[in-house]
């Protein structure tokens, strides 16, 4: 599969602060991206997605930014809460139906 | 609620003893996926079905096979499990049509190989 990597394997933030999780992807042909949250012992949970014809998409407390020039994705979580503690993965859709996951970032929220 | 169901949640098998993991969905999605996820690693795509069309990833070992008898069910068969096959196995579904849509994941089956 294609390489989708994350810059930071771990991230600790204070409760109430904003979090930014980054992801680099390698294939400029990828046209759809998803951010997932995975809690211990559970399957990945969809957070937000973005298509390549957009550079920003907002959800509830989350924003995804896509920079196709440098092949970079970020996930911004506003007012981070203890329940946000989890591993976050980005995944890219390269071709057809395949999705390839990045390395993952473990987010710890400090109360 | 529509969902992706995996059974069992925990499976123990012996080295070399064939094992089958099950996945079912009530979403009526036309694509079903199997991922392998080892500890502290990202899910790795093994293969997927688009309707009845099987699509294997190039680096998926021959030891891993899959069956999809109907839209709702998909099975992962590990013919001769090795110690290195111990992992969480995740099933996912998506509806592919005009454009690409999100995947929905099941809770996973954690496989232990003794």
- The neighbour count for residue A15, using CB atoms within 10 Å, is 13
Q: Write out pLDDT tens, residues B46-96.
A: 999 999 999 999 999 999 999 999 999 999 999 999 999 999 999 999 987
Q: How far is CA A9 from the centre of its chain?
A: 12
B43 closest CB neighbour out of A42, A44, A98 = A44
- For residues B55 and B46, the answer to whether their CB atoms sit within 8 Å is no
What is the token pair recorded at A93?
A: 């859709």
pLDDT band at B101 (very low <50, low <70, confident <90, very high): confident
The pLDDT of residue B1: 64
How many whole angstroms separate alpha carbon A102 and alpha carbon A69?
19
CB of A49 within 8 A of CB of A100?
Answer: no
Bridge partners of residue A21, in order along the sequence: A75
Taking only the tens place, the pLDDT of each residue in B3-60 is: 999 989 999 999 999 999 999 999 999 999 999 999 888 999 999 999 999 999 999 9
B94 with A104: Cβ contact below 8 A: no
Any chain B CB within 8 A of the CB of A99? yes
Closest residue in B to A6 (Cα) is B42
Residue B99 pLDDT: 61
If you count DSSP H runs as helices and E runs as strands, how many of each does chain A have, helices first? 0, 11
Distance CA A61, CA A27 (A): 28
A96 interfacial to chain B (CB closer than 8 Å): yes
pLDDT class of A26 with cuts at 50, 70, 90:
confident
pLDDT at A14 over 70: yes
Mean pLDDT on B94-113: 85
| Residues belonging to chain B | 114
């Amino acid at each position: 599969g294609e390489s989708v990597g994350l810059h930071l394997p771990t991230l600790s933030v204070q409760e109430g602060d904003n979090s930014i999780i980054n992801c680099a992807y390698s294939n400029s042909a990828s046209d759809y991206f998803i951010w997932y949250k995975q809690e211990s012992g559970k399957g990945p949970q969809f957070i937000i997605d973005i298509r390549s014809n957009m550079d920003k998409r907002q959800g509830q407390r989350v924003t995804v930014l896509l920079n196709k020039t440098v092949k970079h994705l970020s996930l911004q979580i506003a007012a981070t809460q203890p329940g946000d503690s989890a591993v976050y993965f980005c995944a890219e859709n390269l071709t057809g139906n395949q999705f390839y996951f990045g390395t993952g970032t473990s987010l710890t929220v400090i109360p | 609620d529509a969902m992706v169901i995996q059974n069992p949640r925990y499976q123990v098998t012996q080295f070399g003893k064939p094992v089958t993991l099950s996945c079912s969905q009530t979403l009526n999605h036309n694509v079903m996926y199997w991922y392998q996820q080892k500890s502290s690693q990202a899910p790795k795509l093994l293969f997927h079905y688009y309707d009845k069309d099987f699509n294997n990833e190039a680096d998926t070992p021959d030891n891993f096979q899959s069956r999809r008898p109907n839209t709702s069910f998909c099975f992962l068969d590990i013919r001769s499990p090795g110690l290195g096959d111990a992992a969480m196995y995740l099933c996912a579904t998506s509806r592919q049509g005009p454009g690409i849509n999100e995947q929905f994941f099941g809770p996973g089956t954690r496989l232990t190989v003794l």
